[in-house]
Amino acid sequence: MSLLRKLGTQLGVLVLWLVHFLPLAWIGALGSGLGAVLYRFGRGRVTRVNLALCFPDMPEDERRALGLRHFRMLGRNALELSIMVWGTEAELLRLIQVEGLEHLEGAAGRPVIALAPHFIGLNMGGIRVAHEYPGTASIYSRQKNPVLDRVFLRARTRFGNPHLVSRQEGLRSVIRVIRSGKPFYFLPDMDFGIRDAIFSPFFGVPTATITALPRLARLTGALVIPVVTRQVGEGYVVRFYPPWKDYPTGDLEADVRRMNAFIEERVLEMPDQYFWAHKRFKTRPPGEPSPYRRK
């Protein structure tokens, strides 16, 4: 890591630390402005491609407006990282509310996989779940930038002494953690390549989707309890859904499709909050070009 890049990162962290002293409304306004800039000069094009694939019947100007709203919310969430890292416990508990905890409480004594799709409030939800259930486990991918890695680790480990499993540790470590009885906060809806994945429809688009959720549920006997975090007003609401019945079925394609269908339903409820900036459709069936390739 070059000295110049290190100094730039440290300056960015200093600015983020200063931001946490501001009122929530100011942080939201600054983050919204930041998001608008990122939409124009960052991954706005990726977002437009994703929205065109998933909502082909939506007029283009509506998709562009949707993409801009998404980035404004994303920018706000990025600056609210300052509260996640340096805010007080009371501030975070006011910021992040919880609904449906009875679904998790009703699974006491059973291994649990908390299916957490990639909506904007994902990390806020993870912090609150760890606060409610000390020892909650999740997968952590280390950042290449060591300064940022320390910041993100601090945010993830503020409360509840969570058990973070490195992505490099593999499936066996994850199975041990789930079998130990720790709720496992699992994020399986990104493009991790073709390994351990099948092509399953997502808004009608064949999408490389990892099969880990039904496989882990089968190997550990875990209940799958979805959890989705929404930006609401100036805060967030973490909502647990009822456990899935008769899951997994043994039909891998049907089980993966059920996960994608659940995420689709939530996307339709709040289309501006799904993580559209990710290249979700990068891995394609043989012979099919990437939709992100510039023509």
Predicted confidence pLDDT, tens digits, the chain (295 residues) = 566 676 777 788 888 889 999 999 999 999 999 999 999 988 899 999 999 999 999 999 999 999 999 999 999 999 999 999 999 999 999 999 999 999 988 888 899 999 999 999 999 999 999 988 888 899 887 777 778 778 888 888 888 888 888 877 778 888 999 998 888 999 999 999 998 899 999 999 999 999 999 999 999 999 999 999 999 999 999 999 999 999 999 999 999 999 999 999 999 999 999 999 999 999 999 989 999 988 6
CA 19 to chain centre: 23
Between CA 180 and CA 174 the distance in angstroms is: 10
> Could you tell me if residue 214 is inside a domain?
yes
Between CA 129 and CA 133 the distance in angstroms is: 6
> Could you tell me if residue 155 is inside a domain?
yes
> Could you tell me if residue 48 is inside a domain?
yes
> Could you tell me if residue 276 is inside a domain?
no
Between CA 205 and CA 56 the distance in angstroms is: 11
> Which is nearest to 114 in space by CA: 230, 242, 251?
242
State the helix-helix crossing angle for 24-41 and 44-54, rounded to 10 degrees: 80
> Could you tell me if residue 199 is inside a domain?
yes
> Could you tell me if residue 15 is inside a domain?
yes
**Is residue 61 a contact partner of residue 99, using CB atoms and an 8 Å limit?**
no
* Domain span at 194: 3-269
> Could you tell me if residue 283 is inside a domain?
no
Q: Domain count for the chain, please give it.
A: 1
> Could you tell me if residue 254 is inside a domain?
yes
